[in-house]
Amino acid sequence: MYSVDQKQFSHGLEIFIEKAISEQQKKFGTSELSFSKGYLYEQEGYKYQLFNKAHILLDAESWKRSDVGTGRIIEKVIATFHVKAGDQVQNIIDWRDVERAEEIFSKRLKESEIMLFNLFCEGDEEESFGSAIELLGQCYAVITYLFFLKDCEKYVPVRTRHFKEQFAKLGISTAALDECTWRNYQEFNEIVTWVKNAIASYFPKVSLLDAHSFIWMMWLFDEESVLLSPKIGSPKWFYDKAQNVTIYCYFGSAAHMYAKAKEIPYELFDKRNIAEASAVPEYTVTGFNRKAHTPSVSITYGEDVLPENTDFTLEYTNNTEAGTATITVTGCGDYKGAQILEFAIKNILGDADGDGSVDAVDVTVILRYLVRIKVNDPDRVALAGNVTRSGVLDITDATFVRRWIVGVDIPYMIDVFMD
């Protein structure tokens, strides 16, 4: 269930109208406000254009059951992801979500087209929503965009973080954006419908999409100018008026940026999951040398390069002996979760003493082993010293290692990783 702080909502609406009238008078010489013309249409009218163009491209009325599995349906849906209204590119879905959806559609074409055909042509909407989640995961923006294309008078798209911030400015409390479920999406549309009714007396012929635009445009106002009283999420007030406080905010919000810049303690409602980041270790194979191996890891989240010990920490296990070593990347700071990376530690052929290089000492170690003088780790000496790979370490191996060291050609590869 959701709740609305009526005083806060009225205050936010008052500020919005004041700003809109000022811009309307400045640009169009009138104070009449409408989402179908003037300043508000200039800001948000592209959504109608995008919907109309996307609806034409989608052409769902022409779909047939026999189209499922041919790629025709996917082709039309993907075209709607890239539709333009003049110079305005579709911004309802983040480009990263678009790429992920396109990849899934490509790999699971028939399943995708079954889901889409059922949604647009004949399926139960709740069932279709569940099928979309099974296919696309928690991709709220893409799934709700599809429902928006199906019926813009009944459904509007969701951009989770953005609407969380704008709902807070309007005094709207809800858990509908915390998880992509049919029940939560129904509540989201109920909230937008409530907003539509609440602003109807201020704007002519308000549609559900107009109410969506009203909420969306609250980004024009920072929290300080909108909130009736300073509270969690209003960083400057805390910074100027209080000590020993923690700011609770959303990732990338003005509150988040301000807290970081001013080094004010803060906690995020929506930490990013480090498991979703791209993690590349410095190397994936290295040679055994009796030392612990700790390759660095380059981690990026989207276009952001993450610094170690600020956004993540590294922990190494089984990273000395030959075998498979692991790196545990654990999110910290603005990141949560973890992911596991692996790298191989391999013996080096000819490196009998296990110091990571092939030299005269290795010849000595092989000879000591052959005459039964005690050596460290005899099993590994027998394995790495057997450069002929005959299965038995003997004097021939010592001879070939010595010849290789002085530069004489031999019929075997030495100083290479062993499988």
Give the pLDDT confidence of 371-391 residue by residue, as tens digits. 999 999 999 899 998 999 999
Q: Output the six-digit token pair for 140.
A: 């709220």
Q: Where are the alpha helices (DSSP H) in 264-377?
A: 360-370
361 vs 235, more confident: 361
Residue 307 counted as domain residue: yes
Task: Name the β-bridge partners of 301.
Answer: 304
Where among 329, 346, 363 does a domain terminate?
346
Average pLDDT over the chain, rounded to whole?
Answer: 87
Residue 75 shares a structural domain with residue 141: yes
pLDDT band at 348 (very low <50, low <70, confident <90, very high): very high
Q: What mean pLDDT do residues 317-330 have? A: 96
Q: How far is CA 264 from CA 41, 232, 267, in A?
A: 39, 13, 10
Same-domain pairing of 167 and 49? yes
User: Cα–Cα distances in Å, from 358 out to 119, 300, 402?
Assistant: 65, 37, 10
Strands (E), 250-360: 266-268, 272-273, 278-281, 285-287, 297-301, 304-305, 312-317, 323-331, 335-336, 338-346
**pLDDT band for position 43 (cuts 50, 70, 90):** confident
d(CA 251, CA 267): 9
Kindly state whether residues 280 and 395 are assigned to the same domain. no
What is the CB neighbour count within 10 angstroms for residue 251? Answer: 13
Mean pLDDT along residues 233-240: 42
Which residues, listed in sequence order, are joined to residue 305 by a DSSP beta bridge? 300
In a domain, 284, yes or no: yes
- DSSP codes of every residue in 182-212: HHHHHHHHHHHHHHHHHHTTTSTT--HHHHH
Clarify whether residues 157 and 19 are in a common domain.
Answer: yes
3-class DSSP state of 287 = strand
Tokens representing 42? 């200039």
Same domain, 161 and 292: no
pLDDT in tens, 134-159: 999 888 899 999 999 999 999 999 98
Average pLDDT over residues 337-357: 94
| DSSP per residue, 315-332 | EEES-SSSEEEEEEEEE-
Selected residue with higher pLDDT from 253 and 286 = 286
For the question of whether the overall pTM of this predicted structure is more than 0.85, the answer is no
Name the more confident of 330 and 25: 330
Q: Is the pLDDT of residue 235 over 60?
A: no
- Are 82 and 13 within one domain? yes
pLDDT tens digits for range 267-308: 787 899 999 999 999 999 999 999 999 999 999 999 899 999
> Residue 292: which CATH number?
2.60.40
8, part of any domain: yes
298 and 314 inside one domain: yes
User: How much of the chain is helix, strand and coil, in % rounded to 5?
Assistant: 50, 15, 35
Q: What is the average pLDDT across 105-130?
A: 91
pLDDT, position 293: 96
Range of the domain at 32: 3-220
Do 278 and 260 lie in a common domain?
A: no
- Which tens digits make up the pLDDT trace of 10-37? 888 888 888 888 888 899 988 888 899 9
Q: In whole angstroms, what is the distance from residue 162 CA to residue 323 CA?
A: 47
The share of the chain scoring above pLDDT 90, in percent, equals: 54
Q: Domain check: are 149 and 183 in the same one? A: yes
Q: Answer yes or no: do 238 and 360 share one domain.
A: no
Query: Which of 300, 323, 346 is the endpoint of a domain?
Result: 346
Chain position carrying tokens 């333009």: 84
Q: How confident is the model at residue 46 (pLDDT cuts 50, 70, 90)?
A: confident
How many structural domains comprise the chain?
4
Nearest CA to 235 out of 225, 219, 223, 244 is that of 223
Comparing 15-29, 226-240, 315-329, 349-363, which segment has the lowest mean pLDDT?
A: 226-240
pLDDT value of position 274: 96
Task: Give the integer Cα–Cα distance in Å for 156 and 189.
Answer: 7
Q: Residue 291 domain-assigned?
A: yes
Tell me, yes or no, whether 144 and 234 share the same domain.
Answer: no
pLDDT at 249: 67
Question: Which of 272, 278, 276, 275 shows the shortest CA–CA distance to 335?
Answer: 272
Q: What is the pLDDT of residues 163-188, one digit of tens each?
A: 998 998 888 988 888 889 999 999 99
**Does one domain contain both 177 and 306?**
no
225, part of any domain: no
* pLDDT above 80 for 129: yes
